[in-house]
């Protein structure tokens, strides 16, 4: 007998946290996860409050003002999820920043800021959630890496290190999570058209588009669809993997 799950709204009844959800790829993730049935807790820095409220409203989710690097962030997250939802099923570590400079200008402040937001915060938040036993069975942790953490971009030693770190982290965590009937995976997007890439010099942007086998920038929703699949209970046999998104077959 062949048994298949009903694919319609596979996240029904599940709670998904998306960090950096106020715009760009995170906002698309919130929309796709909500479309697929999840209640989405949309988290971002307080300064993004208005944009965040718009996204949460649009997807029928809720907001959480959370700077992932703030000292009290892990506890605030634990308190919020425990009180409002009793736990969490999907955690998407999407918050990310760039502070590009070639090596001569790469001061400690740029290095530390990027490592803190893009990598270290993921460890602190996951640790707090697991310690508090809030990740429910069937739980999914998805780290957002980057092709820049696999191939490396000029001027991004800090960013590349942080995004390569995300891959090492989800791979190491996979084994621990298997004991909890949960998984950790990462997506590594290529060049996606958002505010982050809009800030890049024109030549770098054009090179980014050419790196994509489709010869154009990817869309935030392309990444969001892959994340929704990794967040799905049906992807339970996929653990400790990195899904490259956006036709980077030229690498």
Q: Are 148 and 96 in contact (CB under 8 A)?
A: no
- What order do you get walking across the sheet with 62-65 strand by strand? 62-65, 39-44, 15-19, 88-93, 135-144, 183-189, 242-245
The torsion angles phi and psi of 127, rounded to 5 degrees, stand at: -60, -45
Closer to ligand NAI by Cβ: residue 124 or 180: 124
Please identify which of the residues 18, 159, 165, 174 carries the catalytic annotation: 159
Footprint of ligand NAI on residues 107-146 (CB under 6 A)? 117, 144, 146
Size of the site for ligand NAI (CB under 6 A): 28
Q: Cα(216)–Cα(1) distance, rounded to whole angstroms?
A: 44
Using the rule CB under 6 A, is 94 a contact of ligand NAI?
yes
Which residue's structure tokens are 């996204």?
55
Whether the CB-CB separation of 58 and 111 falls below 8 Å is answered with no
Candidates 8-16, 57-65, 93-101, 176-184: pick the segment binding ligand NAI (CB under 6 A). Answer: 93-101
Where residue 138 falls (left for φ over 0; alpha for ψ -120 to 50; beta otherwise) is left
Question: Is position 23 an interface residue for ligand NAI (rule: CB under 6 A)?
Answer: yes
Is residue 153 within the footprint of ligand NAI (CB under 6 A)?
no
CA distance 141 to 184: 5
| Shorter beta-carbon distance to ligand NAI: residue 194 or 239 | 194
Q: What angle do CA 4, 34, 36 make, to 5 degrees?
A: 15
What is the distance between the alpha carbons of residues 155 and 172, in angstroms, rounded to a whole number?
28
Binding of ligand NAI at residue 191 (CB under 6 A)?
Answer: yes
Candidate segments 5-13, 60-68, 83-91, 169-177, binder of ligand NAI by CB under 6 A? 60-68
Query: Is 159 one of the catalytic residues?
Result: yes
Residue 67 in contact with ligand NAI, rule: CB under 6 A: yes
212 is a contact residue toward ligand NAI (CB under 6 A) = no
Judged by the rule CB under 6 A, the positions of this chain that interact with ligand NAI are 19-20, 22-26, 44-45, 48, 66-69, 94-97, 117, 144, 146, 189, 191-192, 194-197
């Amino acid at each position: 007998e062949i048994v298949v799950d009903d694919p319609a709204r596979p996240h029904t009844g599940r709670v998904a946290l998306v960090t950096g959800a106020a715009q760009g790829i995170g906002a698309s993730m919130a929309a796709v996860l909500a479309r697929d049935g999840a209640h989405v807790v949309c988290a971002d820095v307080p300064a993004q409050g208005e944009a965040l409220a718009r996204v949460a409203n649009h997807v029928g989710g809720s907001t959480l003002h959370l700077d992932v690097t703030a000292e009290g962030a892990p506890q605030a997250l634990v308190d919020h999820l425990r009180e409002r939802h009793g736990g969490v099923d999907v955690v998407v570590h999407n918050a990310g920043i760039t502070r590009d400079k070639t090596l001569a200008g790469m001061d400690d402040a740029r290095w530390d800021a990027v490592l803190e937001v893009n990598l270290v915060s993921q460890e602190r938040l996951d640790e707090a959630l697991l310690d508090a036993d809030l990740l429910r069975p069937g739980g999914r942790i998805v780290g957002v890496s980057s092709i820049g953490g696999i191939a490396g971009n000029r001027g991004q030693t800090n960013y590349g290190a942080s995004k390569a770190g995300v891959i090492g982290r989800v791979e190491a965590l996979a084994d621990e999570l298997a004991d909890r009937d949960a998984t950790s995976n990462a997506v590594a997007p290529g060049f996606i058209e958002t505010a982050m890439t809009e800030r890049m010099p024109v030549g770098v942007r054009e090179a980014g588009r050419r790196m994509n086998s489709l010869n154009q920038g990817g869309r935030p929703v392309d990444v969001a669809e892959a994340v929704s699949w990794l967040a799905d209970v049906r992807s339970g046999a996929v653990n400790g993997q990195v899904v490259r998104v956006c036709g980077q077959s030229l690498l």
